[in-house]
Amino acid sequence: MRLIIISNRLPVTAVASGDTFTFKQSIGGLATGLNAYLRSFTAAGSEYLWVGWPGATIKANDEANVSEQLQRFNCHPIFITETMMEKFNEGFCNKTLWPNFHYFTSYYSYEEEQWATYKKVNELFCEKIKDILKPGDTVWIHDYHLLLLPQLLRDKIADLTIGFFLHIPFPSYEIFQILPKKCRNEILQGMLGADLIGFHTCEYSQHFKKSVRRLLGYEPHMDYFNTQKRLIHINTYPMGVDYHHIQKIAQATTASTKQQLLGVNQEIKTILSIDRLDYTKGIPNRLLSYEKFLQENPKWHRKVVLVLLVAPSREGVSHYRKMKKYIDELAGCINGKFGDIKWMPIIYQYRSFTQEQLTELYAISDVALVTPLRDGMNLIAKEYVSSRIDGKGVLILSEAAGAAKELVDAIIINPNCTEEIAAAIKQALEMPEDEQESRIAMMQSQLESSDVTRWGSNIINELQLIKNKQTALTGDFSKPENIVQHMKEHKVSGKKLLLLDYDGTLTPYVADPKQAIPSSELLTILSSIAADENSRVVIVSGRDRETLEQWLGDLNIDLVAEHGVWIRENNAWRLSKHLLKTWEPHVINIFEKFVGKLPGTFIERKDFSIAWHYRNADAEEGKQLAKELANHLLRLSARGDVRILFGNKVVEAMCSGIGKDIAARQFVERENYSVILAMGDDVTDEDMFRVLPEKAFTVKIGSEVTSARFRVPEQSDALRILSNFIP
Instruction: Work out the average pLDDT over 257-268.
Output: 77
Question: If pLDDT is split at 50, 70 and 90, which confidence band does 484 have?
Answer: confident
Which residue among 275, 278, 501, 544 is the active-site one?
A: 501
Q: Is the pLDDT of residue 492 over 60?
A: no
Q: Is the pLDDT of residue 114 over 90?
A: yes
Predicted pLDDT of residue 623 = 81
Q: How far apart are CA 279 and CA 298, in angstroms?
A: 30
Question: If pLDDT is split at 50, 70 and 90, which confidence band does 316 have?
Answer: low
Q: Is the pLDDT of residue 476 over 50?
A: no
CB 389 within 8 A of CB 448: no
Question: If pLDDT is split at 50, 70 and 90, which confidence band does 478 have?
Answer: low
Where would I find the H helices in 88-242? Answer: 98-101, 112-132, 149-156, 173-176, 181-191, 202-216
DSSP string, 254-267: ----HHHHHS--TT
Question: If pLDDT is split at 50, 70 and 90, which confidence band does 254 have?
Answer: low
Residue 661 CB neighbours (<10 A):
19
CB 243 within 8 A of CB 388: no
Q: Supply φ then ψ for residue 404, to 5 degrees.
A: -65, -20
Question: If pLDDT is split at 50, 70 and 90, which confidence band does 333 have?
Answer: very high
Taking only the tens place, the pLDDT of each residue in 676-712 is 999 999 888 998 999 999 889 999 987 777 888 888 8
- 298 class by beta-carbon count within 10 Å (0-12 exposed, 13-18 middle, 19+ buried): exposed
**Arithmetic mean of pLDDT over the chain:** 90
Taking only the tens place, the pLDDT of each residue in 595-626 is 888 888 999 888 888 889 988 887 778 888 88
Model pTM?
Answer: 0.80
Instruction: Work out the average pLDDT over 469-478.
Output: 63
Question: If pLDDT is split at 50, 70 and 90, which confidence band does 487 have?
Answer: confident
The percent of residues in the chain predicted with pLDDT above 70, rounded, is: 96
Taking only the tens place, the pLDDT of each residue in 388-434 is 999 999 999 999 999 999 999 999 999 999 999 999 999 999 999 99
Q: How far apart are CA 353 and CA 362, in angstroms?
A: 12
- Bridge-based pairing state of the strands 231-236 and 269-276: unpaired
Is 501 noted as a catalytic residue in this protein?
Answer: yes
DSSP structure class, residue 107: G
Q: How far apart are CA 299 and CA 356, in angstroms?
A: 34
Strand partners, 304: 269
Taking only the tens place, the pLDDT of each residue in 160-208 is 999 999 999 999 999 999 999 999 999 999 999 999 999 999 999 999 9
- Bridge-based pairing state of the strands 697-701 and 710-712: parallel
CB 621 within 8 A of CB 219: no
The percent of residues in the chain predicted with pLDDT above 90, rounded, is: 59
CB 404 within 8 A of CB 398: yes
